[in-house]
Chain A
Amino acid sequence: MSERALKDRISALCTEKNVGLVSPDIPLLSNLSVYDNIALVSRYLTDEKDEQIQEVIVHQLDMLQIADAKLKKPFQLDAETIFKVKLLRALRLQNSFTIIDRPFVMLNTIADISPVAKMIEILAEYAGEGAFFDFEWNKSKY
């Protein structure tokens, strides 16, 4: 599948479903901290109390061992932390289907998908359904 076709398919899915997208094309907001980036979705879309949102996000940051990045801005983060933050942001969409789009573009130092799979496993209690989208030539890495 070409890059264009892949993007079109993801766009089509996003319009059909409540999709939490983790993608190299969907960056973090550069003027917000890690916490604010993750909390924005809930604060904008839901009536969830700020204290509850904070409690969950702090717990999730702890689980992924990036609690110290809570107040950092995206430009201060390495690629792995940015990926984790994008993943947590995507999981804030309630009743959603999470798509991880071209993970090896975002995490270009990993040899296979196991580090990402481990992150998802750690966040299992928060994660719903999801799928990876990638090029066929990366099939062997899954």
Chain B
Amino acid sequence: MNFVERTGSKAIIAFKNVSGFCIFCLKCLREFLQGSFFNRAAFDVLVMQIFFTAYQLFAFFALLSVVCGSIFIGIIFHAVKSLGLVQYLGDIIMGIVVLEISPLITVVLLALRSSSAINSEIAVMKVNREIDALESFKIDPVVYLFLPRIISFIISVTVLSSLFAIIVLFSGFLFSSAMFDMSGGMFVDMIAKSITVFDIILFYIKSVFFGFFISVIPLYNGWRTEYRSTDIPVSVLHGMMGVFMSIVIVEVVSLVARFFLNSL
């Protein structure tokens, strides 16, 4: 096989992967718009998945938010005080910690914990022919297995990001009153002046996209696993690589969008 043939075959494989992923996403979107997740069997899966993804993680996540939030806020306050940038404190808290760090830490934690889990779960189901079993009984795996997981991830990332942001803000209030003798009213006023409606919308849009990609990529990779148990780790590896690539891409796109909106 010469260079042109090798390049061509790689391009065909890449094209098939991308087009397959797009078709998969469109099918999930179509079922979502049709409200298929209201099917009671699928709804049970949705509730269970929210329990596994968000509720089981809640206590640990709250603790992590307090610890990480306090560390970030402490570092930022120290830098702000030593550089004499107190007038930009609100912008720095909102711009860096709340709008960027909160969703990023949340999505990385969920990707490590739950994306890998659903990738291997679906891959194992595929290898064990459990997905074939569903199809043989005319149960659509997209409706029963995939859509509830995607929705639960979107809900979980959005809720946990918001929780992280709230905890960070509260931590910021405690630090500001301790270091700068700032009252609660002043702190709230400072934060309110530093945030626009676009920022909040972008925060939630970003969370939704994070939730979507860190679920749909592992699900797709699990689903297209071959009927061989040796393919399971390969599938999880590809899935997690895709997840981290998607996190970087969404983060970069959201940053560009935020700078673009702020410059308007």
Contacts and interface: CB of A to CB of B under 8 A. Distances in A.
Interface of A: 14, 18-21, 25-31, 40-41, 43-45, 50, 89, 93
B63 interface: no
B128 A21 contact: no
A25 B132 contact: yes
Contact of B133 (A18, A29, A43, A45): A29
B41 interface: yes
Contacts of A31: 121
B260 interface: no
A14 to B, nearest CB: 6
Contacts of A89: 137
In which size bucket is the chain B interface? 10 to 19
Nearest to A20: B137
B148 to A, nearest CB: 12
B39 A26 contact: no
Contact of B130 (A19, A21, A29, A41): A29
A26 B128 contact: no
Interface of B: 39-42, 44, 121, 124-125, 128-130, 132-134, 136-139, 144
Contacts, number: 49
15 contacts: A25-B132, A26-B129, A27-B128, A27-B129, A27-B133, A28-B130, A29-B130, A29-B133, A29-B134, A30-B124, A41-B137, A41-B139, A44-B40, A44-B41, A45-B139
Given A44-B139, A93-B137, A26 B41 contact: no
Contact of B41 (A19, A28, A40, A93): A40
A114 B40 CA distance: 38
A30 B128 contact: yes
Given A26-B133, A28-B133, A43 B128 contact: no
Contacts of A27: 128-130, 133
A67 B121 CA distance: 28
A26 B129 CA distance: 7
A28 B128 CA distance: 10
Contacts of A20: 137
B132 A43 contact: no
Contacts of B138: 18, 45, 93
Given A30-B125, A40-B139, 20 more contacts: A21-B136, A25-B129, A26-B136, A27-B129, A28-B133, A29-B133, A29-B134, A30-B124, A31-B121, A40-B137, A41-B139, A43-B41, A43-B44, A44-B39, A44-B41, A44-B137, A44-B144, A45-B138, A45-B139, A50-B40
A54 B84 CA distance: 69
A10 to B, nearest CB: 9
A45 B138 CA distance: 8
A11 to B, nearest CB: 9
Most buried by A among B41, B124, B136: B136
B147 to A, nearest CB: 13
